[in-house]
A and B are shown apart, each in its own frame.
Chain A
Amino acid sequence: QKEVEQDPGPLSVPEGAIVSLNCTYSNSAFQYFMWYRQYSRKGPELLMYTYSSGNKEDGRFTAQVDKSSKYISLFIRDSQPSDSATYLCAMDGGWGGSNYKLTFGKGTLLTVNP
């Protein structure tokens, strides 16, 4: 079993839709949870960063972490064609955990159609 599982999609939605992206994980040592966005032929860019369980909101983006279920989500409200990209979840055990090495999901390819 991989440490991080992420449905690769592809996911295609109409403009304005609410998008839900998810990852599950097996390593209970993970404490830091990130979502990266990667446009075609570019490097990943950090989108959201959360510590432990809870919600974090930034504009149209909301990240949720449920450590009891080992499940994280990224919600995109009012999705735009410019949101079309691959979204990767990433996790880190932090100090004394994974020694600053991130574990990535495979990424979900999202297309938002105008």
Chain B
Amino acid sequence: EADIYQTPRYLVIGTGKKITLECSQTMGHDKMYWYQQDPGMELHLIHYSYGVNSTEKGDLSSESTVSRIRTEHFPLTLESARPSHTSQYLCASSDSGVGEQFFGPGTRLTVL
């Protein structure tokens, strides 16, 4: 089983609050990813990182930001949450090979 963790699993928060979604992996993977997934819709890549101090925006525009100061840690921050940010956020990682990514359990965010 892949060792990739996300906290919190569920978060309900009011508009305007700053939040950080945590993602950690213990596999030593170089590459990490954040996806957004809405019910019945495909996964959309919002951020990715190929290693420490490397971050890139994904295919779906997002108001969130990410950082990669340590290999194992890839947090996502929303400075001012809005109801439009309500979604499931999935973190994933992969090693230096190709293809397969390992996913965390997800954070389900609700902004009221």
Contact = CB atoms under 8 A, between A and B. Distances in A.
A101 B43 contact: no
A45 interface: yes
B104 A43 contact: yes
B73 interface: no
Interface of B: 2, 6, 31, 33, 40-43, 45, 48, 50, 58-59, 90, 92, 94, 98-106, 108
Interface residues of A, number: 25
Interface string A42-72: 1111100101000000000000000000000
Nearest to A95: B98
Contact of B100 (A8, A49, A106): A49
Given A41-B108, A43-B90, A43-B106, A104 B101 contact: no
Nearest to B96: A100
A102 B101 contact: yes
Question: Which of A34, A43, A88, A94 is packed against the most chain B CB atoms within 10 Å?
Answer: A43
Contacts of A105: 42
